A and B are shown apart, each in its own frame.
Chain A
């Protein structure tokens, strides 16, 4: 079954804790993205990666970090520096970085602060 898998579905973070959200794809896509979704605000780009071992900051990268050591995987770490982490996080991928490429989305992770 091809697609993008995000885990966990729900995640709780304690004060001062770093947490990592997993995103794996078996679509052989080069480009991967992390979006944050807040109620009434649509999706905002956190980080994106065009190719393995390369990634770029999006519009709201502060308090987040990523890695792209494998083509299939693009984990997102929400650090303690992110003061308002409660949100729904969506991972996406595309075949390449062309501007008209269709994005394939995961099912999302809901992160909440304890």
Chain B
């Protein structure tokens, strides 16, 4: 079954500390993976996708097919990073963008 697991509901860190939001997936093929973010009182929006191999707002995520993981990392957390983060998987079969979302992790960065 296709599934995305985010094991932490809440991750609490201090400003300047490294951050790693965990994401594991279950999918038999080669998936496309994304991180979406929702800041307070804002809409859910794309943060980054693995296919772009980009760094957005200091965040990076590497697809590890061996461990079926797509963890989101940032070396030095900022208070403005506090938000809800969702990992999502797009099954390639069928050709439709039917994202499967994880349950989300709330990141709280304290001063």
Contacts and interface: CB of A to CB of B under 8 A. Distances in A.
Q: Do A and B come from one complex?
A: yes
Contacts of A78: none
Contacts of A31: 96-97
- Give the interface SS of chain B, mostly helix, strand, loop or mixed: loop
Max chain B CB contacts within 10 Å: which of A44, A48, A100, A101? Answer: A100
A111 to B, nearest CB: 17
Given A42-B4, A50-B96, A100 B101 contact: no
Contacts, number: 59
Given A41-B103, A42-B104, A102-B49, A97 B43 contact: no
Q: Interface residues of B toward A: which range? A: 20 to 34
16 contacts: A31-B96, A31-B97, A40-B9, A42-B4, A48-B96, A50-B96, A97-B95, A97-B97, A98-B97, A99-B32, A99-B96, A99-B97, A101-B97, A103-B46, A103-B97, A108-B43
